[in-house]
Chain A
Amino acid sequence: MAKTIVEARGLHKHFGALHVLKGVDLDVAERELVFVIGPSGSGKSTLLRCLNRLEEPSAGSVVVDGIDLLDPKTDINHARQRIGMVFQSFNLYPHMTALGNVTLALRKVAGKSRAEADAIGRKALERVGLADRADHTPGQLSGGQQQRVAIARAIALEPRVMLFDEPTSALDPELVGSVLGVMRDLRADGMTMVVVSHEMGFARAAADRVLFMDHGVVVEEGPPAAIFENPTQDRTRAFISQIQRH
C-alpha cells in the first residue's frame, strides 16, 4: 500500500449561508492521479483550495505529506511549498519574465541564491518545454505556454502533490494538447496529482480514480472506465451524458 499524501476528512465549507462542501473525504496515495468532475458550483474548486488552505475549511481536517494544515502551529507558508497549484487563468506575474515567475518563491521562500534559483528555474522551464522562453514576459507567450510556465513555477519547488484547477479550460482547443502533454509527463515521473477538469480523454488515459461531485458531496468515485461507462448513480449518468454531448 503506497503512502498517503493527501488525507482530507469531513471537509465542510460555508460561505455565509451557502453550504458549499458538506462532508468531503479525500485520500490521495503517492503517485496517484485523482480526477474530480462535477457540475459548475458543485464545490470542486473549493475542495481543491481547501487542500492548500487558500480556503479555510469550516470543519474537518487536511493532512498533506504528514503535515496537519489546519493546526495553528503549522507554518502554512512552508507547507505550501510542498503543494503546487495551477489555476484556470494561469495567474502568472505579468511584470516578470517566465524565469522570474518560476524563481520568485525559490528565492524568497526556499531561500536559494539567485544563481541557484535560476539554475533550478531553467531546469523547470526545460521540463515543460520552454527553455527558450525564459526571458519572455507572460504577455509575449501564448495561453498554452503561459500555463506551462505556471506548471514550471509550481514544480520548481519540488512539491509532493500538484493541484490543477481546470488547467485547460481557458485555452484555445489547439493549445490544450501541449498542457496535457506536460501533465502526462509529470504523471509518468510519478507526481501525485489532483486534477479538476472535464478533459475526459485525458482522464481515461491518465487517471487512477475519478470523483464525481455534486452539491458539495462526492456522489460517486471509481476507476475512469467504471465512472464513464457504468455510473451507478443517476446524477453521475446525467452529468456524463451531458458533457459527452459537447
Chain B
Amino acid sequence: MIQSFFNAEIAAAAMPIVLDGLLNTILLSLLVVPLGLLGGLILALLASVRHPLVRWPLMAWVDFFRAFPPLVLLVLLFAGLPFAGLELGGFACVAIAFFLNTGAYYGEILRAGIDSVPSGQIEAARSTGLSRLQSMAYVVLPQAVRNVLPDLMSNTLEVVKLTSLGSVVAVPELLFQARQAQSVTYNPTPIVMAAVIYFLILWPLVRLLSRLENRALAARR
C-alpha cells in the first residue's frame, strides 16, 4: 500500500518535473505577491481620497473582487477574454486575476493600517512642508505597514497557496507539474511530493507569522 502511495523509483523519475514546478511556483509567487501589494497600495491610497466620486466606485471595486471567487475569475479571464479578442495565456491571466483579487485584500489591510496612524502624524509632516504624497511615503506608510504586518504576512501566505490555481490554466507550477507526472506514471507519488514541498515552504512562513502575531499581542498588552 505504502509502495503505491509513495514509490521511490517513481519519485526519483518525477523529481526533475516536480522541482521544475517548485521553481515556477516560487517565480509565480515572486510575481503575484508584489503585484497584489502594488494593487493594494493603489487602492489604499485612493481610499484616503474622501471624495464621493472616488469613494463609491472604489468600495464597489473592492467588494466585487473580494466577493468574486478567484478560481472563477481566473477561468473567466482565461476562457472568456479570447472571445473579446484578447488571447493572454495562462501566466498573464494568473497575474491579472491576482492583481485584482489579492490586490483587493491587500488594499483593505493597508487601508486599515493607514487608518491606524493618528492624524497628528500627517499634520506634523504637512506643517513642515512635506506634500501629501511625501507624508504618506515617509511618515504614514512605514507606521501603517508595521501596524498590520501580521495581516500582510497572513494574506501573503494565502496568496502563495493560491498560486496552485495556476494549474487550472496550464501554468506549469508545482501542482500542475505534479499532476502531469502523475498522469504519465499512473501513480500518486508526485502529488505526495508536491504536498510535502508545499508544506516545507509554507511551514516556516506560518511559524514566522505566529511569532509576529504573538509579538503584536504582547505589544498590545
Of all chain A residues, the one with the shortest Cβ separation from B134 is: A108
- Cross-chain pair count, CB within 8 angstroms: 64
Verify if A154 is at the interface (C-beta below 8 Å from B).
yes
Residues of A within 8 Å of B127, CB to CB, are 52, 54, 80, 83-85, 154
A80–B134 touching, CB < 8 Å: no
Verify if B211 is at the interface (C-beta below 8 Å from A).
no
Verify if A153 is at the interface (C-beta below 8 Å from B).
yes
Partner among B120, B125, B128, B131 whose Cβ is within 8 Å of the Cβ of A89: B120
B130–A105 touching, CB < 8 Å: yes
A87–B124 touching, CB < 8 Å: yes
Interface-central residue, A83, A89, A92, A95, by most chain B CB under 10 Å: A95
B128–A104 touching, CB < 8 Å: yes
Residues of B within 8 Å of A89, CB to CB, are 118, 120
Verify if A236 is at the interface (C-beta below 8 Å from B).
no
Cα separation A157 to B125 with both chains bound (whole Å): 13
How many residues does chain B have at the interface if contact means C-beta atoms less than 8 Å apart?
18
Partner among A92, A95, A157 whose Cβ is within 8 Å of the Cβ of B129: A157
A95–B143 touching, CB < 8 Å: yes
Q: A77-B129, A80-B129, A105-B129 are in contact. Are A93 and B121 (CB under 8 A)?
A: yes
B129–A81 touching, CB < 8 Å: yes
A104–B120 touching, CB < 8 Å: no
B129–A54 touching, CB < 8 Å: no
Verify if A94 is at the interface (C-beta below 8 Å from B).
yes
A residues whose Cβ falls under 8 Å from a Cβ of B: 52, 54, 77-81, 83-85, 87, 89, 91-95, 104-105, 108-110, 150, 153-154, 157
Residues of A within 8 Å of B138, CB to CB, are 104, 108
Cα separation A43 to B126 with both chains bound (whole Å): 21
Distance of A107 from chain B, by nearest CB (Å)? 9
- For window 122-144 of chain B, which residues contact chain A by CB distance below 8 Å? 123-131, 134, 138-139, 142-143
Interface-central residue, B126, B128, B143, by most chain A CB under 10 Å: B128
Residues of B within 8 Å of A108, CB to CB, are 130, 134, 138
